[in-house]
């Protein structure tokens, strides 16, 4: 579900509600999802203050007053909200932290599909799991030198590189397609094959598309809502994602849906604005356009 713009929107909504606030108690921590290598949640979290809420890519880091970090990933269907503590918990609520204040409220994490993650990490665990070897530079802050390194060091398909969180952190399937449309590059190009000018266009499009999506409070296809429980608006401004067979907003050509460019993922693109180079190898799996 949530990619960088959605997570950033949630973080911006939660910061004023959480920063400086003390955790009173763990009302519920699902044993399925809330895991820690070095202790129980109800021992690790109470009485700590949330000093700061950070984001890197799609990961959220709640820095705690004892030096540990509560780490949350929303997966596909995760939601986070601050809720009155007497409000009934909806199904698939995996974490409830009561927060000091009047009235007492709770930070709640809800995730039906359970692809999300909840962790408490110390400094060592943070480096192991989220160091530079595991998580690439923040997509909004990749410099020219980093772009060159990321793209030139890989023979992979460009879209696969954009989706790889070790290469660049924060881009998922929706924004990969939107970014590639924005810069007019075919998703199945080899990363290595980009010319300097194309690399510069791509870098600009990454920042532009993600910034606009943040301004629009993210994209709601189904589950995603902001920290205030309202859907995003950027789904109304998507150019290609989910628009198979609809006319391109730029040239009126029919948007295509391919399933072979990155295996297992749908890829939407405009065949006229993002032409496949004539000498490119056809995708291994026959690319079929869907209705």
Partner DNA sequence: ATAGGCGCCTGCTGGC
Partner DNA sequence: TGCCAGCAGGCGCCTA
Question: Catalytic site residues?
Answer: 2-3, 58, 265
Nearer to DNA (CB atom), residue 48 or residue 205? 205
Contact flag: residue 220 with DNA (CB under 7 A): yes
Nearer to DNA (CB atom), residue 24 or residue 226? 226
Contact segment (CB under 7 A) with DNA among 42-50, 118-126, 203-211, 218-226 equals: 218-226
Contact flag: residue 137 with DNA (CB under 7 A): no
Contact flag: residue 246 with DNA (CB under 7 A): no
Structure tokens belonging to residue 5: 């713009």
Site map for DNA, 7-46, x if CB under 7 A? -------------------------x--------------
Subset of 46-65 contacting DNA (CB under 7 A) = 57-58
d(CA 287, CA 258): 5
Contact flag: residue 224 with DNA (CB under 7 A): yes
d(CA 230, CA 96): 20
Contact flag: residue 223 with DNA (CB under 7 A): yes
Site map for DNA, 166-205, x if CB under 7 A? ------xxx-------------------------------
Burial 160-173 (b: 16+ CB within 10 A, else e): bbbbbbebbbbbbb
- Beta-carbon contacts of 177 under 8 Å, excluding residues fewer than 6 positions away, are 159, 187, 240, 241, 267, 268, 269
CB of 103 to DNA, least distance (A): 29
Residue pair 180/194 in contact (Cβ under 8 Å)? The answer is: no
Nearer to DNA (CB atom), residue 103 or residue 284? 284
Contact flag: residue 154 with DNA (CB under 7 A): yes
DSSP conformation letters of 224-261? ---TTS---SGGGG-SSTT-TTSBPTTT-PBPEEESTT
C-alpha dist (Å) from residue 78 to 93, 129, 223, 238 = 10, 20, 8, 22
Contact flag: residue 118 with DNA (CB under 7 A): no
Other beta carbons within 10 angstroms of residue 246's beta carbon come to 12
Contact flag: residue 274 with DNA (CB under 7 A): no
Task: Determine the longest span between alpha carbons in the chain, in angstroms.
Answer: 66
Applying CB under 7 A, among 133, 145, 195, 222 the residue interacting with DNA is 222
Nearer to DNA (CB atom), residue 134 or residue 204? 134
d(CA 184, CA 275): 8
Nearer to DNA (CB atom), residue 47 or residue 134? 134
Contact segment (CB under 7 A) with DNA among 34-42, 100-108, 216-224, 274-282 equals: 216-224
d(CA 120, CA 44): 8
- Positions touching DNA (CB under 7 A) are 1-3, 6, 32, 57-58, 73, 75-76, 91-92, 112-115, 134, 153-157, 160, 163, 165, 172-174, 218-224, 260, 262-266, 283-285, 291
């Amino acid at each position: 579900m949530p990619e960088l713009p959605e997570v950033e929107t949630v973080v911006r909504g939660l910061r004023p509600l959480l920063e400086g606030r003390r955790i009173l108690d763990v009302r519920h921590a699902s044993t399925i999802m809330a895991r820690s290598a070095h202790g129980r949640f109800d021992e690790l979290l109470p009485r700590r203050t949330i000093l700061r809420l950070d984001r890197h890519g799609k990961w959220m880091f709640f820095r705690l007053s004892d030096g540990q970090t509560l780490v949350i990933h929303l997966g596909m269907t995760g939601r986070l909200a601050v809720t009155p503590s007497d409000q009934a918990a909806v199904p698939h609520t995996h974490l409830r932290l009561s927060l000091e204040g009047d009235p007492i409220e709770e930070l709640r994490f809800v995730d039906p599909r359970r692809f999300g993650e909840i962790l408490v990490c110390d400094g060592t665990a943070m480096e192991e799991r989220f160091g530079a070897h595991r998580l690439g530079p923040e997509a909004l802050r990749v410099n020219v030198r980093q772009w060159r390194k990321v793209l030139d060091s890989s023979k992979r398909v460009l879209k696969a590189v954009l989706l790889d969180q070790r290469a660049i952190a924060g881009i998922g399937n929706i924004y990969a397609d939107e970014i590639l449309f924005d810069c007019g590059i075919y998703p199945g190009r080899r990363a290595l094959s980009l010319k300097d000018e194309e690399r510069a266009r791509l870098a600009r499009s990454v920042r532009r598309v993600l910034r606009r999506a943040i301004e629009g409070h993210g994209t709601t296809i189904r589950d995603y809502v902001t920290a205030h429980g309202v859907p995003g608006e950027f789904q109304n401004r998507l150019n290609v994602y989910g628009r198979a067979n609809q006319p391109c907003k730029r040239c009126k050509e029919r948007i295509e849906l391919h399933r072979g460019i990155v295996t297992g993922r749908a890829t939407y693109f405009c065949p006229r604005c993002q032409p496949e180079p004539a000498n490119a190898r056809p995708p291994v799996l026959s690319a079929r356009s869907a209705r």
